[in-house]
Structure 1
Amino acid sequence: MKRIVFVVEKTGTGYSAFAKNFEKYPIGTTGKNMRDLRKNILDATHLFQDAHHLKHAKEDDIIISLDLHQFFEYYKIINATALAERIGMSQSLLSQYANGIKSPSEKQTNKILQGIRELGKEFTQLELV
């Protein structure tokens, strides 16, 4: 199964998502939070696939695409100042990206994403005593 990228946007009542390749996958849905949205995306994708006699996508086949401002808005638990220090980026610059004042280049976006993924990987390898 080829991965399907969903572009997510904040709305007044939660979040909406639509398939990036909408011509091929005319799929869209909403959710009150990211957990609900991810479930609704998978359900909507399965409905589309059922209607077209296609194999069902797995959860790993669904990619959520957020801009940095929305990412930091939703995941407030991630401290932008500490993340900037961790990835070797100016705290002021990352704050501007996080607040939607500036848009990062692709290189900067990848640097931030790599730092976030490394942090997530560390979390999955932790045990608390």
Structure 2
Amino acid sequence: MKVSIEKQSDGSYIAYNTTGDKVQLIGTGDSVKEVKEDFFNSLDEVLQSYNEIGDDIPEFLNEEIEFRFDITSLFEYYSMFNVSALARYLGINDSLMRQYRSGAAQISDKQLEKIEAGIHRLGSELAALRLV
């Protein structure tokens, strides 16, 4: 199941499933951690309801959850990322990356793909890393 996590204009966060047309799950909170916990709570409640009434559980509710973050939520949840250092690694202007993080600048699909590909590349490099 694909779940989007986004920062809202009031500063809170929302998580919602983007797959599965029978059930809409929502989680809210003041942090990404809280919103994920609330989302899982919503999922548990829906699963319990299906079990209680004896209805078949839609297949997508048993799928592994794939969280998708907007840029602001990404940097809030993975706070160990230094925004400027990551921007330099990705070949993006530091100031522009900070504007993306704060929501002051709109991010194009092309730039979003560049950031995602760079983060995946970094993850691969870290996964292959060995310490001596």
TM-score normalized with structure 1 length? 0.70
Structure 2 alignment gaps of length 5 or more = none
After TM superposition, give the deviation of residue 103 of structure 1 in Å: 1.1
Structure 1 contact 6–65 (Cα < 8 Å) conserved: yes
Q: How many residues align?
A: 124
| Larger Rg belongs to | 2
Q: Structure 2: how far apart are the matches of 1:114 and 1:57? A: 28
Q: C-alpha root-mean-square deviation of aligned residues, in Å?
A: 3.0
State the match for 2:62 in structure 1. 57
Aligned to 1:86: 89
Distance 1:109 1:126 in 2: 26
**In the alignment, which residue of structure 1 is the partner of 2:128?**
125
Q: What is the percent sequence identity of the aligned residues? A: 29
Letter in 2 for 1:17: A
In the TM superposition, residue 37 of structure 1 has moved relative to its aligned partner by: 4.7
Unaligned runs of 5+ in 1: none
- Residue pair 1:9, 1:17 contacting (<8 A) in 2 also: no
TM-score, normalised by the number of residues in structure 2: 0.69
Counterpart contact for 1:46–1:57, Cα < 8 Å? no
Tell me the amino acid that sits aligned with residue 5 of structure 2.
Answer: V
One-letter amino acid of the counterpart of residue 45, structure 1? L
